[in-house]
Amino acid sequence: MDIRELIDEGRTTIGIEFGSTRIKAVLVDEDGKPIASGSHAWENQYEDGIWTYSLDMIWHGLQDAYSDLLADVNLQYDTVIRKVRAIGFSAMMHGYMAFDKNDNLLVPFRTWRNTITEEAASKLTKEFGFNIPQRWSISHLYQAMLNKEPHVKDVTFFTTLAGYIHWQLTGQKVLGVGDASGMFPIDSTTKDYNKEYIEKFEKLVKADGYTWKLADILPKVLVAGENAGTLTEEGVKKLDPSGMLQPGIMLCPPEGDAGTGMTATNSVGVRTGNVSAGTSIFAMVVMEKALNAVHEEIDVVTTPAGDDVAMVHCNNCTSDINAWAKIFTEFSEAMGFEIDQNKLFKTMFKAGDVGEPDCGGLAGFNYFSGEPVTGFDEGRPVFARKVDANFTFANFMRLHLYSAVSTLKYGLDILFNEEQVKVDKLYGHGGFFKTPEVGQRIMSAATGGPVTVMETAGEGGAWGIAILALYASLEEKPSLSDYLNNKIFAGETGSTITASDEDIAGFNAFMETFKKTLPIEKAAVETL
């Protein structure tokens, strides 16, 4: 059957993911192969001390990305999308979207990027004996309570961005277990919120006198493969202004970008892991057993199937590299010639690939925003060098590639060395890996082991949630891990690179400098 027939007969599946800088829509066939895509670029806004996206930005971005997908379908196959097997939505995890009884947003969306909940996160971590990071939804709710924000008394529901989109399109207040695990701790044996911690929270806030109970305002938890509702007529209007899409289409549980990243890299099985490296960077390893101790640098979330995952999440990755690319572009224009952006980034990455293993005496921090893993509520990008440093373009770029993954390395050392967590396969995906081999080699130098990039890794989380939607549409379902291994990734091995001993030693030397110079970053935050 040709692709046009598949589309016309409604046998394709759609996945849409809200990333931090791009909303992407992907259409896949019955085997999960991408056949069309669309996107919309957007940026978070810093308003009144809060990183946010407005509701208008969210809905305009969704409609524009979907319209772009329709345009691609029309261009390639001369047809339109009227029905599909299933649809899935995913987005940046965590954050805080709180609503009242009339479904009004009570305060502007507080994204994962905000580091304003240190007091709440610290108190909850101590109370639960379980690490609760600042960006988690429960930290935002509790911090608002500690701050005595007037809106808290009116909360009847709070959720993540993916949960919000799904709710508006289906009427269902649900969340995939992976995304839910970034709101509140999950008990992997029940695949639901940890009842012991909910009881502890209620006791903690009992004296505050709120009429709502936490269990009543959290979204319902669903695991991969479950039916999460259908697209309503009102939902069609919000997604597809053309009105061609039919209501009644099944949706899979909305997931976070961590879960879709695991799916897109076939790393939902025990002792597999993946690194997602773009605006932010995080590594996840599916664990064989629980951690021995509580580490503020390590989160415990779950796969879309509800299995425990150790995550090291860092707020900053490629933003500083992008900033320097802008400077190089402006310089080129000042010199009288235009520069191709793809060529520019490839040149920057390839230069870093041949820099000295220890960066030749250069140092720096890529902190555009706070970085809780190393104890920073705010960030300042910093570049420093010794007087006698070998200050070359190659070493300069090597430094920025190292800087992009340095804080991740800081957290992974705890996971691998102190907790002895084992990983057999580590997959990379995201913009950091777009230039062939370079990002892999740098990441391998940081982790000390091989890093694999699959051919499909460039499709990212939008493809991952499309696969989860396709999985949910099956009448008979194997386990998610078996489905990925035997159907979606059957025969695909990807490209694997292992850093040289010299590169690994060089990165370790760089990390010693990184740790020693953290006071420079502290001084920059305090004085700039």
SS3 for 131-185 is CCCCCCHHHHHHHHHHCCCHHHHHCCEEECHHHHHHHHHHCCCEEEHHHHCCCCC
Name the pLDDT band for 124 (thresholds 50, 70, 90).
Answer: very high
User: In terms of Cα–Cα distance, which of 218, 240, 291, 248 is closest to 84?
Assistant: 248
Contacts with 305 (C-beta within 8 Å, 6 or more apart), sequence order: 177, 223, 224, 268, 479, 480, 481
Name the pLDDT band for 458 (thresholds 50, 70, 90).
Answer: low
**What does the pLDDT read at residue 494?**
85
Contact of 278 with 316, CB cutoff 8 Å? no
Residues 423, 426: Cα–Cα separation, whole Å: 7
**What does the pLDDT read at residue 1?**
61
**What does the pLDDT read at residue 85?**
98
Residue 283, CA distances (Å) to 138, 253, 353, 408, 524 in order: 22, 23, 22, 7, 27
**What does the pLDDT read at residue 265?**
87
Residues of the chain by 3-state class (helix, strand, coil), percent to 5: 45, 20, 40
Name the pLDDT band for 456 (thresholds 50, 70, 90).
Answer: low
**What does the pLDDT read at residue 319?**
94
Q: How many helices (H) and strands (E) does the chain have?
A: 18, 23
Summarised one tens digit per residue, pLDDT across range 134-179 is 999 999 999 999 999 999 999 999 999 999 999 999 999 999 999 9
Summarised one tens digit per residue, pLDDT across range 111-120 is 998 989 999 9
pTM of the entire predicted model: 0.84
Mean pLDDT, residues 216-237 taken together: 98
**What does the pLDDT read at residue 519?**
97
- Reading the block at residue 160, the tokens are 């993540």
Summarised one tens digit per residue, pLDDT across range 330-341 is 999 999 999 999
The two most distant CA atoms of the chain are separated, in Å, by 67
H-helix or E-strand spanning residue 524: helix 518-527
**What does the pLDDT read at residue 336?**
97
Name the pLDDT band for 363 (thresholds 50, 70, 90).
Answer: very high
For the chain, what percent of residues have pLDDT higher than 70?
99
Mean pLDDT, residues 31-43 taken together: 96
Q: What is the mean pLDDT of the chain?
A: 95
**What does the pLDDT read at residue 457?**
61
